[in-house]
Structure 1
Amino acid sequence: MSTAEADLTEDERAGLDLVRRTGGIHQSEFWKELDVSSRKGSRIVESLAEKDLIDREETVYEGHNTYLLSPTAMDLDFQLLMAGDMLSPFVADDELDEQSDAFSQWVMRLAYQ
């Protein structure tokens, strides 16, 4: 856990977990999923973005301007996934290739666990 994560409130921790678990969520859905007001949700998002724990990108969703919230890439050590200079073939239950979105999402979920 990073220093920034150690200082999170319970609501901020729940928000960060939601963003990481989903791999990305629209801010308008973020508030609903956390069951908080849009004002409180906005404060949580601003705090997480200021601490560089999430990225916030302007987008249009269902015809409305909003933000896409996604986990910030961390300095991750993938050495345990490697066999020399190649990805170990024994890192997942399902057969995945290195170009698939499923593979990228699996690696990011693994990294945040």
Structure 2
Amino acid sequence: MASGNAIRGSRVGAGPMGEAERGESAPRLRLSFWCANGHETQPSFASDAQVPETWDCPRCGFPAGQDRDDPPAPPRTEPYKTHLAYVRERRSDADGEAILAEALAKLRGEI
């Protein structure tokens, strides 16, 4: 049951906004950045802004650079380490044997 109202969903003062109402837009600079997967990203910067050396690729998240032939390398992710792996980095086998012997002596009541 349409009422035939042509301006339904509009508000007073709504209309096409152009440069006259918004003012002049700032001069912009579009640069291309490429990631290691070959994705191209073209963000816009103000003409007087400092342009960063790298930009995060919105498709894969890798860092992207302005040189298409030599993009930045993807970050190296470290594998998950267990608690035992961290302990083995800090202690040698001889240290572990000494600590184990001391703990067993405490349990047996020798110390």
TM-score (norm: length of structure 2): 0.20
Higher share in helix: 1
| Structure exhibiting the larger radius of gyration computed from Cα positions | 2
Higher RCO (Cα < 8 Å, 6 or more apart): 1
TM-score (norm: length of structure 1): 0.20
Higher share in strand: 1
